[in-house]
Structure 1
């Protein structure tokens, strides 16, 4: 009795004009794979310290408000901490979605546009998040009137 022949997955499903062109992509995929592993480990540490400091060491979820964030971001350590967490989370997630797009988008043009939308949205979110972290002013002056809260220094 001869063993049955198992055809490769998708062998008859994808039309030849939609098959991906071969070619080496160099070491990019290896570096992307390594980045996912390393950034995942760093993100676990960043996120658990973030959750501990915000929820357990503080007053719990009721204590997280505008004043809490203002006080936290007054310290450059927490600005850099949140910035690294933002950047790593966005790049880690973008790389994961890129892999999913590569796996499931069959047409080259579909892959191209999905990845372009992904990359543009990633850049926009990283830029806006970075601007928010570093330009955040908890004690703004609006129309010459300082909006002073209890956490702002006296004018």
Structure 2
């Protein structure tokens, strides 16, 4: 069995002609979201690890206190959404590049998109429905800021 290898000096021929710029917009999104994610992640790490007492103060009360502020809810929501979209787009590109059979590509993308949706929906619900001070809870179990 012989395999024919294309001439590496031959001009590039597009396999499929499309009118969509989806891949270009995906590429631009990866660059923009990467820059924004660097700012969000380093800001998150700085506030959580460097300001105040450092890593020793991170507990339920710390997270509950942060998430009482709409600013930190929005910060963490942006970080979650951008990281998940950025990562999903990257893995989608890898699946397109390395899976040879159409059915394999379809199954892998379905698993990827299912994981994306599940993580984003649950993460968003946790950020917005987190209640550190539940009603009728014993006072000795509540954080100090309640």
TM-score range, shorter chain: 0.7 to 0.9
What is the number of residues matched between the two proteins? 134
Structure 1 equivalent of residue 10 of structure 2: none
Note the alpha carbon deviations across 1:57-95, whole angstroms, 9 max, x for none. 132111111000011011100000000000000000000
Runs of 4+ in 1 over 2 A off after TM superposition: 6-9, 144-149
2: CA distance, partners of 1:72 / 1:130? 15
1:65 aligns with 2:65: no
Shift of 1:103: 0.7
Shift of 1:25: 6.0
2:73 equivalent among 71, 79, 82: 79
Q: Residues 18-97 of structure 1: matches in 2 within 5 Å? A: 22-24=16-18, 26-97=20-91
Q: Which has the higher helix share?
A: 2
2:6 equivalent among 5, 8, 13: 8
Gapped regions of structure 1 (runs ≥ 5) = 1-5, 10-20
**SS across alignment from 2:43:** helix
Note the alpha carbon deviations across 1:21-66, whole angstroms, 9 max, x for none. 7342610000000000000000000001111111001321111110
For normalisation by structure 2, the TM-score amounts to 0.85
Root-mean-square deviation over aligned CA pairs: 1.8
Gapped regions of structure 2 (runs ≥ 5) = 8-14
For normalisation by structure 1, the TM-score amounts to 0.81
Structure 2 equivalent of residue 101 of structure 1: 95
Note the alpha carbon deviations across 1:88-130, whole angstroms, 9 max, x for none. 0000000000000011100011001100110011011000000
Shift of 1:131: 0.2
Structure 1 equivalent of residue 111 of structure 2: 117
**SS across alignment from 1:150:** coil
Q: Which has the larger radius of gyration?
A: 1
